[in-house]
Amino acid sequence: MRTNSGTRTDWATRWRAAKAKRRWLDHLARAGNRYIEHSGYQYVGAITYFSVLSIVPMLMVGFSAAGFVLAGSPHLFDELRAVVANAVPRALDAEVGALLDNLIDQRAHIGVLGLVVGLYSGWNWMNALRDALTAMWDQHRRDQPLLSMIVRDLLALFSLVAALVVSFGLTAIGGGAGVWLLDLAGVDGTPVASVLLTVTSVLLALTADWLVFLWVLTKLPREPVGLRSAIRGAAAAALGFELLKLAGNIYLGIIGGSPSGVAFGSVIGLLVFISLVSRLLIFITAWTATGSDTLKRRPVLVAPPTVITIAAAEPGNALRPALFGAAFGAVATFLLTRRRR
């Protein structure tokens, strides 16, 4: 009868044999160990929390911008009030109208408060993200003044926003150029054009995601990383991100049939999506940092040679312990002999 310890030994032996036989499995195992040992779960929780916290100030800034636009266009504001009045019950018409008037009057205060809270939550989000990437790359966070760290993290946040805008802007321009070229060729609206547009949009989205993730993996850690080390990791992150987006669209299509699903399911789906994207990014970073090529290029830290110095004792100093020991032995022998007598 085989004991539990024997079963665990067999599984451990099989696991080691499988990792030795399949390099990709050994790579995944090392990435999982790096993710767990460097507190990947805690970093994902912090990133998710500050991501959700950042949504509120972003909405406040958006409402403020909308308030400035509506304040400068009375005709547009009247049309908006008419649309809202037709969409809500008649008993709530006055309250919704008062809410819109308050939005217009308090647009500056809402915008300033949203910016302040957004900078706070955005800095904490970027700080947690940079610490997570630094830990997965097995780097050490350097001690630096708090103000300097805040400024660096905010600059990294603005750089990330700029990278996102440029990347997805190029994607939109490329998609528009593809439609224009198909229209110019006279094949717009045909099945072939539909397939070409779908393939082109997917390729452009993957390229944009790859560029953004490549920048994140190499520039956001506390110590910069070479581009060559993160090429495959950025490609894997881009593919995983597009799959998560596809799963999110399917999920929204499922819950969109009921009002309760739209009200609660969308919030839950947003939390799950942010958590999964954060977990994907942190694990891909650990997977990239534990690659065989990355480990080979990492410099090996060699301890400095140890210098052993042997100091020769002076002749007089060397005889003192011997003379003291001899005197002590003679006194002890004398006392023992006298006690026996």
Q: Which residues contact 123 (CB under 8 A, 6 or more apart)?
A: 150, 153, 154, 157
CA–CA separation, 65 and 109 (whole Å) = 11
Tokens of 185: 């060729």
Q: Which residues contact 164 (CB under 8 A, 6 or more apart)?
A: 212
Domains of the chain, by residue range, sit at: 14-124, 144-292
In order, the DSSP letters of 206-251 are: HHHHHHHHHHHHHHSSSS---GGGGHHHHHHHHHHHHHHHHHHHHH
Is 0.85 topped by the overall pTM? no
> Are the CB atoms for 255 and 261 separated by under 8 Å?
yes
Mean pLDDT, consecutive 10-residue stretches, the chain (341 aa), reads 62 80 87 91 92 86 83 78 69 70 82 89 91 89 80 86 77 68 67 75 86 90 84 92 87 73 76 91 92 54 48 49 52 51 49
CA–CA separation, 267 and 259 (whole Å) = 13
Tokens of 91: 């008993």
